[in-house]
Each structure stands twice: as structure tokens, then as C-alpha cells.
Amino acid sequence: MGLAFLIELFLEVEKTLPMARTNPGQFVRQVRQEMAKVTWPSRKETTLSTTMVFIMVTLAALFFLVVDQLIAWVVKLLFGLGG
């Protein structure tokens, strides 16, 4: 019953939605029009953003390394596993 209901619901919804049928040529033209509207970042903006990402990833990695080492040290201290 559940599957039949879902199929029926899908078919009813599909009837009510206006579907734009375009041929491949129209689709490619529409994609090119939309791509022309995109504002692409400059080389300077891209370089700066990439550099900032690398810096933040490095800082996050160092932070988690320090936290991990502290937690490991505390666990060893509590359980007497280390010197």
C-alpha cells in the first residue's frame, strides 16, 4: 500500500508541475548565458583565499595536535602507563 501511494503521489505531483522541455542546444545556450553572469575572482583574490585556507588548516592541525598530546599525557598520568 505504501509504495503504490508514493507512486500515485509522484504521478499527481508531476502532472501539476510545469516542466520546461528544452532541447540540448537551448540548454547549452542557457548555461552559457548563466556562466557569463558569474563574477569570477581575480588571481589576487584566489591566491589570498588559498593562502588563508592553508594557514587556517595548519593552525587547526597544530591546535588538535596539542590537545591530543595533552589528553594522551593526562590519560597516561591517570592510569600510570607512562613515566
pLDDT in tens, 31-68: 999 999 999 999 999 999 999 999 999 999 999 999 99
Tell me if 62 sits within 8 A of 68, measured CB to CB.
Answer: no
Distance of CA 52 to the CA centre of its chain: 18
The model carries a pTM of 0.56
Q: What pLDDT is stored for residue 16 in this prediction?
A: 76
User: Residue written as cell 591530543?
Assistant: 68
Q: Residue 19 — left, alpha, or beta (φ > 0 → left; ψ -120 to 50 → alpha)?
A: beta
